[in-house]
Every structure is written in C-alpha cells, then in structure tokens.
Amino acid sequence: MRIGGLNSFSLSDFPSHVAAVVFTQGCNFRCPYCHNGSLIPMDPPTSALIPLEEVFLFLEKRRGQLNGVVVSGGEPTLQPDISLFFYRVRSMDYQIKLDTNGSRPEALAELLLEGLVDFIAMDIKAPFELYDRLTGVCAPKEQLEESIALIAQSGIDHEFRTTVVEPLLSERDLQAIQEMVPYGSRHHFQEFRPENALDPVLRAAVAVKNNVLQVA
C-alpha cells in the first residue's frame, strides 16, 4: 500500500464513527476540480509517502479511542495489496469505510466477498455522457455502472455522492445524476472547494466571481 496522507481524527468522514482517514497514493482519474492533486501520481518520491508500519503503529495506539478507519485517496482500489491492508486493520477491531470512484468493480467485489468493508461511499461525478469531462480521462462507464449496481445490492451501508461543480454541471445534469442512483440508496451533493482545484482555470473562475461579489 502506498500511503500519501493520514488524518488522525475525523467525526465527519464515517457516519456514526470516530475515525482516522488513510489517503492512498495514486489515482486513475484527473478530475479538474480535485482538491487532493498531490495524491494523483502513482509513483511519487518515497519521501512523500508515509511508511505502512507507521500507519499501523498509529492505529494500534489509538485502539479504544477510534472505532473506524476510512480508506480514501487517490483511488484505493488501485492498490494491489488493499485486501491485506484491510485484513490487518480489521484485526485491530476497526470498522472500515471505503471511498471510491467506482472504476474497479472487480476490486470492490473481492472486498465485499471477503467481508472486509462495512461502508462504501462512491462518487457519481456526472451523467455518463459528461464523465470524460468531469474526470479528465476516458472514463470506464461500463465499470462504473457495474460498481453502482454492486454497491447498491451489497447489503452493507453505503452512499453515493456528487461534488457540485457549478462551472461544469448544470441543474439538469444534477437531476440526471439523481436519476442514476438506485432505488433505496442514499445520495447527497457536496460542496465544491475551489481553492486547491487541480485545474487553475476553476480556481481563477471562482476567484473572479468572489471579487465581483465583494465589489458589488
């Protein structure tokens, strides 16, 4: 596992849990609005990574104080040894939440089959016809559809979520996204944070908008 970051305490990332958040390094999307751009490269300098044993040592020390671990990214399912990581976290009696872009349903299926995940949050970034634009790559739409169905039918707690990027998504697009969510699954819209957006055009556009508001 390549670990690019660790948040030692969160009350908001894992519903009903006091959790740590582990950020895996590497992502197969290049979303222009991404605020974790430093986690995109698959092979950063070793000095930029957190040693795996350091993460486990932290989690061992926090047993009894924390009851959940969120594995986010980057895209965690790109990590070839993610199951081994989850097994070890589970052995410390932590509940596990996975944040994913849904691009690798085969990895999701394996984690679910092995009973290694308690909660999954998947991003639905756009209507499928706009996915390439919102992800910055040729998005694997069939795999995304498979992941949505897999998660919805998994029987475990889950949610789908969408970042509302006003310059890229219209009200009609947001309505179309809601129609993509399977019946009975939760979905929520989350705020776009432009300050650290990967695309400088998005950062500049919001800055201009804010300046106009201040002048007015």
CA 150 to chain centre: 17
The token pair at 216 is 């007015």
Can you give the pTM of this predicted structure? 0.93
User: Domain 3-215 is in which class?
Assistant: alpha beta
Residue 8 DSSP SS3: strand
- Within 13 Å and on the Cβ side, how many CA atoms surround 151? 36
Q: What integer pLDDT is reported at residue 215 of this predicted model?
A: 41
The token pair at 210 is 């804010």
Q: What residue ranges do the domains of the chain occupy?
A: 3-215
For residue 186, the cross-strand partners are: 159
The string of pLDDT tens digits covering residues 138-195 is: 999 999 999 999 999 999 999 999 999 988 999 999 999 999 999 999 999 999 989 8
Average pLDDT across the chain, whole number: 94
The string of pLDDT tens digits covering residues 193-215 is: 898 899 999 988 655 555 443 44
